[in-house]
Amino acid sequence: MYEARLIARLDVKAPFLVKGIQFEGLRKLGEPGQFARQYYSDGIDEIYYEDTVASLYDRNSIFDIIRETTEDVFVPITVGGGLRSLDDVGEALKAGADKIAVNTAAIKRPKFLNEIRDQFGSQCIVLSVQAKKIGGMWEAYYDNGREPSGIDALEWIQEGEARGVGEVLLTSVDKDGTREGFDIELMQMAGKGLTIPLVASGGMGKTQHCVDVIKTGGADAVAMATVLHYAECELPHIRATCKSQGIRVRET
């Protein structure tokens, strides 16, 4: 029996919810808290907020949005983007986040993952990996998909698990926003030997893509953005389709 979580991904360029294709051409869609409340009402399992410019401008601007969201949204919330210190992590958790996601700061200083684990526990750390196919490998990118690291994304995922992260959010830069489906091969390769949950992100365009990345790609959870923001797929239908194809999802 397959089992998976359904996650709404909200990319934020404060104070707006934004979405682009392959992390470029971001369009303003509205007030993020309003979208979060709608997805909560529709039965989403978790919400993931990503500050798209925090690392670029060396600042955090999403904590107020988190505080507002947690007033009437009662599902686990993950916050990523621009978390560079243990103080940043602590502030995110204090604002109401259940988990934090790190990418740029961890690539620049991998020991940061160990420090978060030691102070806050593995259960709250999500390693955000933005992978782009370069030749015969996937390279890890940072600064919201803008900068190449020269690091093999699959090796980085294994290192992240060894350093104590509790979960991996793996986004295909190539597939992001395209609606063409997830990078199944990337997910399969990343999941080999991985003992922590793998969240697939980037490319969902229809409900079957969600089913495919769980059953064929091996994902433990699916993060969705474009299809939800533009109401191309509705959460009750996604949930019903998963159940009809042998995937256990949370009852709402």
pLDDT at 52: 83
- Say if residues 46 and 5 touch (Cβ distance below 8 Å): yes
Question: Looking at per-residue confidence, does 139 or 51 come out higher?
Answer: 139
Amino acid, single-letter form, for residue 28: K
Whether the per-residue pLDDT at 80 is higher than 90: the answer is yes
Q: How distant is the alpha carbon of residue 58 from its chain centre?
A: 20
> Containing H/E element for 213?
helix 207-215
Amino acid 127: pLDDT: 98
Model confidence band, residue 237 (pLDDT cutoffs 50, 70, 90): very high
User: Which pLDDT score, from 0 to 100, does residue 23 have?
Assistant: 59
With 80 as the cut, is the pLDDT of residue 54 above it? no
Nearest CA to 23 out of 148, 115, 195 is that of 148
Segment 197-227, tens digit of pLDDT: 999 999 999 999 999 999 999 999 999 999 9
Any idea what the CATH number is for the domain that residue 192 is in?
A: 3.20.20.70
pLDDT above 80 for 24: no
pLDDT at 26: 66
DSSP class per residue in 68-86: HHTTT--S-EEEESS--SH
pLDDT tens digits for range 126-154: 999 999 999 999 999 998 888 999 999 99
* Helix (H) or strand (E) segment spanning residue 93: helix 86-95
Give me the helix-helix angle, 86-95 and 111-120, nearest 10°. 50
What pLDDT was estimated at residue 232? Answer: 92
Confidence check: pLDDT of 49 > 80: yes
Distance, CA of 149 to chain centre: 19
Distances (CA, A) of 59 to 20, 23, 53, 88, 112: 21, 19, 8, 10, 18
Contact 98, 77 (CB under 8 A): yes
Per-residue pLDDT at 82: 86
Residue 122 has pLDDT above 90, yes or no: yes
In the chain, the number of structural domains is: 1
- Cβ neighbours for 196, distance < 8 A, ≥ 6 positions apart: 161, 165, 166, 167, 168
Please tell me the predicted confidence (pLDDT) of residue 14. 75
Q: What share of the chain is helix, strand, coil (3-state, %, to 5)?
A: 35, 30, 35
- Residue position matching structure tokens 């190449």: 148
Which residues, in sequence order, are CB contacts of 35 under 8 Å at separation 6+? Answer: 8, 10, 17, 29, 228, 229
In this structure, are strands 5-13 and 16-21 parallel, antiparallel, or unpaired? Answer: antiparallel
CA distances from 118 to 8, 113, 115, 175 (A): 28, 9, 5, 34
pLDDT at 128: 98
Q: Which domain holds residue 144?
A: 2-248
At residue 22, the pLDDT reads 64
Mean pLDDT over residues 165-174, rounded?
97
